[in-house]
Chain A
Amino acid sequence: GQQLNQSPQSMFIQEGEDVSMNCTSSSIFNTWLWYKQDPGEGPVLLIALYKAGELTSNGRLTAQFGITRKDSFLNISASIPSDVGIYFCAGQRGGTSYGKLTFGQGTILTVHP
């Protein structure tokens, strides 16, 4: 099946620092999404990207849909303690596979005050 390689696996940063994480795939996705998961909870959608090259912001978060449609990155600027959690990228192929998301392995973010 399709695999998403997400990196880094974990990050330990100081409050106020910027964070960058990315996902790559060997195959094309029509939609890229970034989710955050807090302990014991379900993933929560942060940003959705629909077009190659698209750059979208949501507050301190910025994500881009790669030109090749095989990659995406997420940046978090000026991190705060509540940014702690696991961040997942997810790709959707489209066609008849709506809602069938392929998730990356996740990036565990720790923010030290």
Chain B
Amino acid sequence: EPEVTQTPSHQVTQMGQEVILRCVPISNHLYFYWYRQILGQKVEFLVSFYNNEISEKSEIFDDQFSVERPDGSNFTLKIRSTKLEDSAMYFCASTTDVTGELFFGEGSRLTVL
């Protein structure tokens, strides 16, 4: 069964460093998303991406965050200068239509020291 894959599964970084989280969405999907989940809390929307541009972003997704689909298969989330509060599980998701039935990856755990 097709699935969303994410790398790395866990990344530890120093505050102020740049981090890139990578995702390979399901191949025929057109809509891509990043969500995050701080430990023990609910899943929160960060950004949606369609037709090579951001469709919508949340207040969390400030100037330190960016997304890119560089080659038609990968979908990346970059955090330019990480802060302690960026520590969370980051989930990539994709879907083929507008039903809201998102398929999530297994997540990338980011720990900022």
> Which residues of A come within 8 Å of B, CB atoms?
1, 31, 33, 35, 40-45, 48, 50, 88, 90, 92, 94, 96-106
- Bound-state Cα–Cα, A85 to B48, Å: 27
A contact residues around B43 at 8 Å (CB): 43, 88, 90, 101, 103
A103 partner, pick from B44, B59, B95, B101, beta carbons under 8 A: B44
- Bound-state Cα–Cα, A1 to B44, Å: 11
- Bound-state Cα–Cα, A103 to B33, Å: 14
**Which chain B residue shows the least CB distance to A48?**
B101
B100 partner, pick from A88, A92, A105, beta carbons under 8 A: A92
A contact residues around B20 at 8 Å (CB): none
Chain B interface size, as a band, is: 20 to 34
A contact residues around B35 at 8 Å (CB): 101
Q: Which of B72-113 contact A (CB under 8 A)?
A: 91, 93, 95, 98-107
- Dominant secondary structure of chain A at its interface with chain B: loop
Distance between A109 CB and nearest chain B CB, rounded to angstroms? 16
- B107 contacts A99, C-beta separation under 8 Å: no
B contact residues around A97 at 8 Å (CB): 48, 56
Chain B 34-58, CB within 8 Å of chain A: the 1/0 string? 0100000111110010000001101
B contact residues around A35 at 8 Å (CB): 104
**Which chain A residue shows the least CB distance to B100?**
A92
Known: A88-B42, A98-B48, A102-B45. A41 touches B100 (CB 8 A): no
